[in-house]
């Protein structure tokens, strides 16, 4: 995105909750002092909106402003207990399809940590709208909860290509992909396969895959080996908070939520209500988020000026209470004043990256992004609630369904086969997955046959969920349970 030749650039400004107004005010002061031609449109979201009875926490006039400006700088938003349903932060990210969460992490001058001098300078790129954060949950029985982990081929390809493009824009040379594909071969495996598909299109960048638990281990052991780390939503949420601790804490952790249409810039930290109004909070994270915003807008000189001023200020020993103790740290306003006073100065000891425009990936817009040449239905999983043992339930289901078009193959509990018996010692609850296979001519499963099976089962048991067992291009579209052959 390039700045307009004339006039000012409109940006939606959301002060946020708790310490939000203080840190956003600091960032706004610095951005304006740097001469950035920004026209702020101030709107609200979060706790106060929830209290007014709006369940989303995001008013329509805020939505309208974002739809117009396409760029947001915001403070942290709280979801108070007793008000609202969904996080307003997540709502904004999802409604505007800001699919890429970008969290830079680098060593800060004058901020002592156990890793000082190691040269940490990495970026976590987190998929931002899918995975467990779809927030689709059910109590399937009184004692068993389910959350759907939804990861799409298209969403995975977008985020891995974004990560490669982001690496190019900052002159970085390595992209690591962290997944749990060794266990979740379909969901997390989708991300791994998308990464391996995209990597050859970026021959200038070294790709490597790492299991996410090893990524956490390596980030603590040798973080300087990472350059860009791309991962799924839940993994990225955890790892990015870990990485911020390596360089001094959340007070130094900026972030951007970027989509092909809208970008939202914010600090990683929350609203920290116990510090609100005390003029002690560290505003560095949101100031550096504004640096990311300025670069996104094509205001590279202003962005570099602010980043240099932050580093010069830290080098000079002006530090906030989260670093040196709240009894002797600089106040939020005094720290901001120091940064503004240092605009125009340049750090001589810390590199500021020469950032190029980011090329966002553009993929096929069709909803049916993956089009298999062949597909077949081979059976049905029925999730059943029962207090019986697995053997008793299995015998009963076989008797109930013996003359239907499907036969009971096995029953599992918590992902482990428990019927037919394997001789293992697996504890079961009241929640079972019962796998039925089409007896003859698999390929289709008419609704009448599904209805008949469910009628038979429901004559004695509660069922709460069904799932068709499908094959795509001859490959199984479902997993086998532990112990199932």
Q: Tell me the β-bridge partners of 71.
A: 263
Choose, from 213, 364, 444, 473, the residue flagged as catalytic: 213
Q: Which residue among the candidates 180, 296, 322, 461 is catalytic per the annotation?
A: 180
CA proximity to 124, closest of 102, 141, 108, 139: 102
Sign of torsion, CA 406 409 415 418?
A: positive
Active site residue 213: yes
Q: Is 22 helix (H, G, I), strand (E, B) or coil?
A: helix
Of the candidates 82, 127, 84, which has an alpha carbon nearest to the alpha carbon of residue 102?
127
- In the residue annotation, 180 being an active-site residue is answered as yes
| Cα–Cα distance measured from residue 147 to residue 113, given in angstroms and rounded to the nearest whole number | 37
Cα–Cα nearest to 205, from 163, 159, 239, 243: 163
C-alpha dist (Å) from residue 274 to 20, 49, 271, 278, 333: 12, 20, 9, 9, 18
Rounded Cα–Cα distance for residues 317 and 312 (Å): 9
Question: Strands 71-74 and 144-147, how do they pair?
Answer: unpaired
Q: What is the 3-state secondary structure (H, E, C) of 363-390?
A: CCCCCCCCCCCCEEEEEEEEEEECCCCH
Q: Is 133 a catalytic residue?
A: yes
- How far is Cα 292 from Cα 311, in angstroms, rounded to an integer? 15
| Residue 227 is among the residues annotated as catalytic for this protein | no
User: Which H/E stretch holds residue 123?
Assistant: strand 121-127
Give the separation between CA 321 and CA 1, rounded to whole angstroms. Answer: 37
* Catalytic pick among 121, 237, 322, 381: 237
The catalytic residue positions are 133, 180, 213, 237
């Amino acid at each position: 995105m390039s700045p307009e030749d004339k006039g000012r650039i409109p940006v939606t400004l959301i002060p946020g909750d708790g310490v939000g107004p203080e840190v956003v005010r600091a960032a706004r002061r610095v951005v304006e002092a740097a001469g950035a031609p920004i026209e702020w449109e101030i709107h609200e979201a979060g706790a106060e909106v929830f209290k007014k009875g709006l369940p989303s926490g995001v008013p329509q006039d805020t939505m309208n402003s974002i739809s117009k400006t396409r760029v947001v700088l915001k403070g942290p938003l709280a979801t108070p207990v007793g008000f609202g349903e969904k996080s307003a932060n997540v709502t904004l990210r999802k409604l505007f399809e800001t699919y890429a969460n970008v969290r830079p992490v680098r060593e800060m001058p004058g901020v002592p940590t156990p890793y000082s001098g190691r040269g940490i300078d990495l970026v976590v790129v987190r998929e931002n709208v899918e995975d467990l954060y779809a927030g689709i949950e059910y109590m399937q029985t009184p004692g068993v909860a389910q959350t759907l982990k939804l990861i799409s081929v298209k969403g995975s390809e977008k985020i891995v290509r974004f990560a490669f493009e982001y690496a190019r824009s900052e002159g970085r040379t390595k992209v690591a992909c962290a997944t749990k594909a060794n266990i979740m071969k379909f969901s997390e495996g989708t991300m791994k396969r998308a990464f391996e598909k995209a990597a050859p299109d970026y021959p200038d960048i070294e790709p490597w895959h790492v299991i996410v638990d090893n990524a956490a281990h390596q980030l603590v052991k040798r973080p300087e080996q990472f350059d860009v780390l791309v991962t799924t939503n839940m993994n990225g949420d955890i790892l990015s908070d870990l990485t911020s601790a390596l360089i001094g804490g959340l007070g130094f952790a900026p972030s951007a939520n970027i989509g092909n249409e809208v970008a939202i810039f914010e600090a990683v930290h929350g609203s920290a209500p116990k510090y609100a109004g005390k003029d002690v909070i560290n505003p560095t994270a949101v100031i550096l988020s504004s640096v990311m915003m300025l670069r996104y807008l094509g205001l590279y000189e202003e962005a570099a000026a602010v980043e240099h001023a932050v580093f010069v200020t830290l080098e000079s020993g002006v530090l906030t209470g989260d670093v040196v103790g709240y009894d002797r740290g600089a106040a939020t306003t005094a720290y901001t004043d120091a940064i503004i006073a240092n605009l125009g100065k340049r750090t001589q000891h810390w590199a500021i990256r020469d950032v190029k425009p980011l090329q966002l990936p553009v993929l096929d817009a069709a909803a049916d992004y993956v089009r298999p040449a062949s597909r077949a239905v081979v059976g049905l999983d029925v999730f059943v609630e029962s207090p019986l043992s697995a053997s008793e339930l299995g015998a009963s289901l076989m008797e109930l369904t013996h003359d239907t078009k499907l036969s009971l193959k096995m029953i599992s509990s918590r992902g482990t086969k428990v019927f037919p018996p394997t001789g293992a010692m697996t504890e079961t609850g009241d929640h079972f997955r019962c796998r039925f296979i089409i007896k003859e001519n698999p390929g289709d499963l008419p609704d009448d046959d599904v209805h008949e099976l469910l009628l038979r089962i429901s004559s004695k048991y509660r069922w709460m969920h069904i799932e068709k067992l499908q094959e795509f291009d001859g490959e199984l579209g479902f997993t086998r349970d532990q112990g199932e052959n």
